[in-house]
A = this chain, B = another copy of it.
């Protein structure tokens, strides 16, 4: 896909000229790095899978392709999720919030999982709070707890060594 083509086909509204909260014009806000956060969730179970970022181009690609395309901050490049692993995310719905600076992408997660660690979801650990936190030794760090059933696929086989 040529960026110029896609930019002219999918035009975002000027945030200064529309009612961002009450209007129907899509005017996404990108942060100082040109990115908007996008949380991918399973479209049926609503399990949160991963939080990643899109730039304007990857958002347009997601909208046109119907598969989640992010911008990799570490690799500084467009990242078509699943291009390496086969774990494509087929988009079922995209939601935008009141001030249009965050997205939810409801997806059909293909393959065994979303996370490069081998877990189904990136959110595989829980953070203690309240009583559970109080029961931990204070001042020595906070201990996370496993929140899923463990890894569901061999990350090294899917992504290669040192992924």
Q: Chain A interface (Cβ within 8 Å of chain B)?
A: 8-13, 21-26, 37, 39, 41, 45-48, 50-51, 62-66, 91, 93-99, 102-104, 115-117, 119, 122-130, 133, 138-145, 147
Contacts and interface: CB of A to CB of B under 8 A. Distances in A.
Interface of A is mostly: loop
Contacts of A41: 46, 48
Given A64-B129, A129-B66, A24 B97 contact: no
B123 A95 contact: yes
Contact of A9 (B10, B21, B48, B139): B139
Given A47-B46, A128-B63, A141 B94 contact: no
A96 B127 contact: yes
A144 B26 contact: yes
Nearest to A22: B117
B129 A94 contact: yes
A147 B13 CA distance: 20
Q: Looking at A96, A104, A115, which has the most chain B CB atoms within 10 Å of its CB?
A: A104
B143 A125 contact: no
Contacts of A12: 141-142
